[in-house]
Structure 1
Amino acid sequence: MCVCVCPQDQEEQAFFAVFDGHGGVDAAIYAANQLHVNLVHQESFSQDPGEALCRAFKLTDERFVKKASREHLRCGTTGVVTFLRGRTLHVAWLGDSQVMLVRRGQAVELMKPHKPDREDEKQRIEALGGCVIWFGTWRVNGSLSVSRAIGDSEHKPYICGDADHSIFPLDGSEDYLILACDGFWDTVNPDEAVRVVSDHLQENAGDTTMVAHKLVASARDAGSSDNITVIVVFLRDPRCPQPTSTEEEEEEGVVEEEPGHPPLPSTTVLSLWLLQL
């Protein structure tokens, strides 16, 4: 996790990421140490963070593949990144680690993970000469159950390092983000995750300290036997009342100081919990 704050005359920024390694820890450690550095060094970072994120993923992949070749490493990592700049949320990802937004207590899908059973991913792999085979789950060439990742040099180009990217404007009605690896999402669906967070906040008077721990426990109790990593990023203080909608404000005669420009969310990582099973 890395948080960046710009000079006073520029917009605030924040960066959060989850990397889930397979075949060893080297790729995940490398990505966690290098991707955000590669991001800020992109020429497009100031004007087009989305393009910069995708280039940072690609560069991180290329450099790790070279490192893996030198050091005889056979591993890879999925990754999901959220980058907040002012009132805009950028999401970029490779593989099946995911981020979910919760707005006014409702789960909002932000992305679709890269899995071999996705029809577009299956067609891409087969067009390159690879195949997707059922072996307990759908796998690329009968091996990996993700179709994009950093590393995995022996599975290139089928396991590619091209990240997907989405942009979401924020209007102040957003509650929080949940970033997690597949060890969490495979056993806890979005609605259940929202319920766990809501119950925890009600039982603890809005205290967020152990929210991620509670989510990890829910995945473990649901039968997850994989590594579980969860980051919860609150975009507003859950102890404060939910802000009213623009329509409600207009009906009540409330005038915003800057019409059309919602207040910048207060972005904080409240908790991170990693469980090795």
Structure 2
Amino acid sequence: MLSSLQAFYGVYDGHGGRAAVDFVSDHLGKNVVAAVLATTTEEALEAEPSSWSTTDAVSAAIRAAYLATDSELVKQGLRGGSCAATALVKDGDIYVANLGDCRAVMCRDGVATAVTSDHTAAREDERSRIESSGGYVSCGSNGVWRVQDCLAVSRAFGDADLKRWVISEPEIRRLPLTAGCEFLVLASDGLWNKVSNQEAVDAVSRSSAGRDSTGCCKELVDMARCRGSRDDITVMVVDLKRFMI
């Protein structure tokens, strides 16, 4: 927590063992909060900073925290990697960032909107980026595209042996929290491979009355499991109404 109207949330999904995801879950939030607080302090010392410069500075701080976390992870020599989707609520805005195929979906007036775009080798722009840097992307018999015949995600923390192509540069979106914003669903691909964005939002909307967010998350996990998901499933539901000023 940063303050009563500011908070940080994150969902992480590891591959190639637990070491990388455990490191990221322990360090990323701390790094983001520290970077944003430092940015806020610097802005406060400047005369009449514009809202645009402040917004750009917060996004830059989040980006720097992601890259710093990845650098720290790689230096540890740990195996594997981790995807992430995070949300920083600050001063009436929400900054959503992601690496890999963890996804953030916002419910606004009952309608689901994906506020992240999955970083997979199937994305044409990601394939172009990888190929232009000397790598290659292949599609196996199961229809899954992979970087260097190995990894399905094209951005992640860690994966040191693929770092030339599997980068840790996050995509970041800033959205104002307006009256129609209800909640945010952060989840790993174990959910999204079986449950659509709108289905997830509808399920939370139905079950939220008289039930806390933990119950809503459990229902989404059960839904994915019943549909055959055998992947790890991590789900978080963030009530956005509590941050309305």
Scaled to the shorter chain, the TM-score interval is: 0.7 to 0.9
Task: Name the residue aligned to 1:36.
Answer: 29
Match of 1:50 among 59, 76, 91: 59
User: 2:202 and 2:106 mapped to 1: Cα distance?
Assistant: 14
SS of residue matched to 1:129: coil
Match of 2:170 among 163, 171, 179: 163
Task: Name the residue aligned to 1:251.
Answer: none
Task: Name the residue aligned to 1:99.
Answer: 104
Match of 2:189 among 156, 169, 182: 182
SS of residue matched to 1:142: coil
- CA drift of 1:45 comes to 5.2
User: 1:229 and 1:121 mapped to 2: Cα distance?
Assistant: 25
Q: Is the 8 A contact 2:8 2:33 kept in 1?
A: no
Task: Name the residue aligned to 2:135.
Answer: 130
- Using the size of structure 2 for normalisation, the TM-score is 0.88
Q: Deviations over 1:20-72 (max 9, x none)?
A: 0000111111111111222233243554221111111100001100101xxxx
- CA drift of 1:84 comes to 0.3
Structure 2: 5+ residue stretches without partners: 42-53
- CA drift of 1:196 comes to 1.5
User: 2:216 and 2:64 mapped to 1: Cα distance?
Assistant: 33
Q: Deviations over 1:70-126 (max 9, x none)?
A: xxx321000111000121010111100011000111101212110111111000000
- Asked if residue 64 in structure 1 is aligned to residue 73 in structure 2, the reply is yes
- Using the size of structure 1 for normalisation, the TM-score is 0.78
Q: Is the 8 A contact 2:207 2:216 kept in 1?
A: yes
Percent identity over the alignment? 36
SS of residue matched to 1:226: coil
User: 2:12 and 2:237 mapped to 1: Cα distance?
Assistant: 15
Q: Deviations over 1:189-234 (max 9, x none)?
A: 0111122123323xxx432251110010011111111000000011
Match of 1:5 among 3, 6, 13: 3
Task: Name the residue aligned to 2:156.
Answer: 149
2:90 partner letter = R
User: 1:17 and 1:57 mapped to 2: Cα distance?
Assistant: 12
Structure 1: 5+ residue stretches without partners: 7-11, 238-263, 267-277
- Larger RCO (CA under 8 A, 6+ residues apart): 2
User: 1:200 and 1:186 mapped to 2: Cα distance?
Assistant: 21
Q: Is the 8 A contact 2:20 2:79 kept in 1?
A: no
User: 1:228 and 1:40 mapped to 2: Cα distance?
Assistant: 26
Aligned residue pairs total 226
Name which one, 1 or 2, has greater alpha-carbon Rg.
1
